[in-house]
Amino acid sequence: MSKIRPSKGAPYARILGVGGYRPVRVVPNEVILETIDSSDEWIRSRSGIETRHWANDEETVAAMSIEASGKAIADAGISVEQIGGVIVSTVSHFKQTPAVATEIADKLGTDKAAAFDISAGCAGFGYGLTLAKGMIVEGSAEYVLVIGVERLSDLTDLEDRATAFLFGDGAGAVVVGPSQEPHIGPTVWGSEGDKSETIKQTVPWTEYDSSTGKFPAITQEGQAVFRWAVFEMAKVAQQALDAAGITPNDLDVFIPHQANERIIDSMVKTLKLPEHVTVARDVRTTGNTSAASIPLAMERLLATGEAKSGDTALVIGFGAGLVYAATVVTLP
């Protein structure tokens, strides 16, 4: 018989607050067209993207995260000292160690919160949310800050016609806390490493030659990624609905990773979402911000009134790896 005392966590967890930060500089398609042979019409028709935000030197991964986190903590109505964990999902913090989460936890003023980074690409927010839920139910933290943040402009090849227009910068954060009712459903997540070459960094850091003037960048096989996202991720989204015990008719909001509006439209059609379901389309003015895209889209929907507190939302992230994570949540 075990001598270990059982954990004393909460029965369930929920999102209590959300915050976002978008860099000051707004970059229209016209700027992208200075380095690629394309057109504004082509970019919009292929992706839905009209503008994106690019960070300046002061808008670092840590700085953007702190801004978004402060808003999320205020929205949750708790003090910084109550944060027991900080989880940061990013692929664009270039210092291998220490984790940027530790810097964020310190500068926010937490009381020695557990802090770590994860690398799960565009599914990173879902991974972080699932880990936070586990920490709260297990009892190792009462409140956990989950941050998705990217400076993808640093990893964009502006001469690559297939990707130059896609990526943007920003940070989104949520506070996850205890609940007496289930407000974060079971997570359906996984990976398909056999398809890892479809989205990747052009060269590893060990092979980077600064004399070439060509910085490592993100590249992808557009058609292969599109087909996978539309057909396979619609199945994962349906599995998340099934796991939560609801149907599309029970949904109020759909917040998919903001990769491409054509992918979003196709998923809506495949899932047969009713017309009353609000669909996040933040990609139009924010671009693809990878791990930051879901919390940023969530924050905007609530700020504009397109979604409201208590709404039931399906969230799904998918990307490099290939990795994915989907769950149903109650909006804060």
Q: Give Cα 293 to chain centroid, integer Å.
A: 4
With contact defined as beta carbons under 8 Å apart, do 99 and 85 qualify?
no
269-45-303-179 Cα dihedral, nearest 10 degrees: 40
CA distance 149 to 88: 7
Determine whether 122 is an active site residue: yes
Contacts of 173 (CB under 8 A, 6+ apart): 18, 19, 20, 65, 68, 69, 71, 72, 145, 146, 147, 148, 295
Q: Comparing C-alpha atoms, which of 12, 16, 39, 15 is closest to residue 28?
A: 39
Q: Which of 29, 53, 122, 183 is catalytic?
A: 122
Q: Give Cα 235 to chain centroid, integer Å.
A: 20
Determine whether 288 is an active site residue: yes
Q: Copy the structure tokens of residue 182.
A: 């289930």
**Bridge-based pairing state of the strands 253-256 and 114-118:** unpaired
Half-sphere exposure of 246 (CA within 13 A, CB side): 24
With contact defined as beta carbons under 8 Å apart, do 252 and 313 qualify?
yes
Q: Which of 29, 93, 257, 260 is catalytic?
A: 257
Catalytic annotation, residues: 122, 257, 288
